[in-house]
Amino acid sequence: MEVDTYPTSSASHPYSCTESFQSLVPESEDSVCSVWITDFPRGGPDLRSVTDIHGYYQVVKYAQACGNPDEARKAWDWVMRHDFFPGHLQFCLGEIAPEGLRAAFEAKSRHQKVTQLELLGAKLDDTLMKTLARSIRHDSDLQELHFKSCTFFASPAALEELLESVRTHEPAIHTLSLRSNRLPNGEPGMLAEYWQVLSSFIGKAQHLESFVSDGQFISPEAAQCLADGLKKNKSLEAIELTRCNFGNEQLALLLSVLQTGCPKLDTLSLRENSLSGLAAGLLLEKLIAEHPGLKRLDISMNPLGGQGVRYLTEALGKNERLVDFGCAFLDLTDAEYATLLGALAKRAGIKKLKLGNDWDAKGWAALITLIEKSKGLKQLDLGQQALGARRIKHLKQALAKHSTIEKVYAGGAQLHLQGNKKPR
């Protein structure tokens, strides 16, 4: 019978377990938040220098890197006493010791068990993965797991053990997110063997509702592994495959998956990939026309071009299910984008739009017409692109006459719609 023990750390860590918090967390002249300096644990380290959020995260870094269990426990106890995010546990950029990771879960469980876990910039080896798997089993109610900017040194077997802990634990996990992770050599993405493990997990995890792969190269082999898992899944409602070199062949593979798998899927993001030309347009037309539950689709920042968008425009005219659509920067001329906006203006069911182009005269006029004619549109996102004072003024004038739009984003900020009526 296997004894469920925790691995211990043999590696050196940047902070000594006897080093005081005073030296780790210098006083800040620009105090952002001082509420964390109250109610220190008796006998604990000196934390009076923690006066802002930057100091708070320095304490988190100390706690997660500490190889001494007692010191790690004291540090995490303090962090949890001053935590604004019940149930959420985040490990910051920097080293993580197994003892520090275990102490975090134990300290969190004394307040509220971990429901959301985010590993940010972690170096994930076998020891850390196994510690994480055991902590999830013993001291969590994990429902969301996020890997962001991590480097995967761990073996596929260690990743499999972690995901099995996540899958078989109650309550069941509903969100798995992989963003901008890297291989040990610095390349973006994950090994093909990792994708085989992920495929098996997705196929078995019948409570999984959301899967995200962002900023990670998906090779043809990885795409096939992912497809094999998606075919068996009956619970996924949202899939995000962004910035992962997802091309026409991978889209065709995804369409074959959706014929039998993921029957509950209603949200799909394929932003910032390499969908291009006539073939992509035909595939997207098929996706919009044939997948019955799809309500939210984002294909922004793909080089579709005029040929591809022609079939997309025809599909939009036949589809009444989409309520949220992103189609910014599709490598279109001003006239081609104006045609697309004209098709969108005729759609009564769309509530949210994400748009963006170079906005020459014809395209801008089509945007204003869309605002004035669209029925039911609640939110319009024009992205980070700077529009200039004259166009912002023109935009606000058109919006003032349009009673259904409640939120507009332009230049990366929300516009104040003075005088715009709110629907009752």
Tokens of 356: 């963006």
Residue 394's contacts (CB-CB under 8 Å, 6 or more residues apart) are 364, 368
CA dist 326 → 151, 161, 272, 303, 381 (Å) = 31, 37, 11, 14, 9
Dihedral over Cα of 47, 48, 49, 52: its sign: positive
Q: What is the 3-state secondary structure (H, E, C) of 38-79?
A: CCCCCCCCCCCCCCCHHHHHHHHHHHHHCCCHHHHHHHHHHH
pLDDT of residue 71: 79
pLDDT of residue 44: 38
Asked, as a colleague might, if the bond just before 171 is cis with ω within 30 of 0, I would say yes
Q: Which of 305, 264, 263 is nearest to 284 (CA)?
A: 305
Q: Which of 254, 268, 296, 304 is nearest to 381 (CA)?
A: 296
Every domain of the chain and the residues it spans: 275-411
Cα 376 to Cα 380: distance, rounded to the nearest angstrom: 11
Tokens of 354: 């994400």
Number of DSSP helices (H) and strands (E) in the chain, helices first: 14, 15
Amino acid symbol at 257: V
pLDDT of residue 202: 95
Amino acid symbol at 21: F
Amino acid symbol at 206: Q
Amino acid symbol at 86: P
What is the DSSP code (8-state) at residue 226? H
Amino acid symbol at 193: E
Q: Is-contact 66 96, C-beta < 8 A?
A: no
Q: Which of 423, 402, 311 is nearest to 353 (CA)?
A: 402
CA–chain centroid gap for 340, Å, is 28
CATH code of the region 275-411? 3.80.10.10
Bridge partners (DSSP) of residue 210 are: 175, 238
> Can you spell out the DSSP letters for 318-347?
H-----EEE----S--HHHHHHHHHHHHT-
Q: Mean pLDDT per segment of 10 residues, for the chain of length 424 residues?
A: 41 33 38 30 45 67 78 78 69 76 79 83 90 84 90 93 89 91 86 93 94 92 93 95 93 90 93 93 88 90 91 80 92 91 86 90 90 87 85 87 84 72 45
Q: Is-contact 375 402, C-beta < 8 A?
A: no
